Copies of this chain bind each other. A is one copy, B any other.
Amino acid sequence: MSENYESLLGLQDNTVLLQRISTRLADKYTGIFAAETVERYVFESYTALARTARITTFLPATTEHFASDRLTALAISKGALASEVPEVLFVCVQNAGRSQMAAALLAVESRGRIHVRSAGSLPAADLDSTVVAAMSEMGLDLSRNYPKPLTDDVVRAADVVITMGCGDSCPIYPGKRYEDWDLPDPAGQNLETVRDIRDRIHDRVKTLVHSLS
């Protein structure tokens, strides 16, 4: 029963691969996190991405990236790693359009003087292809980005949290700056409309960079 079902759905047992990733990240975070914590982060990050991803071929590589970024965020929030620059988090519903554009534009506009993350309250399977096209026109390649669920660690690490259309799905912690940007959802829109949303995000991002400088 088990074997048939797995091969039928093309499912794989990635346990060995995930354990190897856990060992690698446990080394990286020695003295900061227990190996138990790191292993939990790797396996739960994998399951969270697997739940919503459409293509699962690159999941182990994506898992390593996501788990490592989350552990870094947690280490910063605990003061175990120093962050020399402001940390900004963009949150939208799907992490497929608005928050991805905002993160990419902020990285460019701040020239590395601000560190940025993005996440979604209900992450989509893929980035919106029109969004990828509109950003590509500016020379920004989002094709390797992936939608990520909002997690506690990235909220904790942020100095500024900017939500776009996801209501009250983001936990509130003291000492942070919260903003809600009222911008249309690019999902299902044509390229012209998405360009307009992109440019409106770009304007707001410039103002934000200015206010954080």
A interface vs B, CB < 8 Å?
A: 1-2, 5-6, 9-15, 33-34, 36-37, 40-41, 43-44, 46-48, 50-52, 56, 74, 121-122, 149-153, 155, 167-174, 176-180
Contacts and interface: CB of A to CB of B under 8 A. Distances in A.
Nearest to A12: B172
Given A152-B43, A155-B47, A177-B1, A6 B52 contact: no
Contacts of A43: 152
Copies of this chain assembled into the complex: 2
B14 A171 contact: yes
B13 A173 contact: yes
A149 B47 CA distance: 10
B169 A52 contact: yes
B152 A47 contact: yes
24 contacts: A1-B177, A2-B178, A6-B172, A6-B178, A9-B180, A10-B168, A11-B168, A11-B170, A13-B173, A15-B174, A40-B40, A40-B41, A43-B152, A44-B44, A44-B153, A46-B171, A47-B150, A48-B151, A50-B170, A50-B171, A51-B149, A51-B169, A52-B121, A52-B169
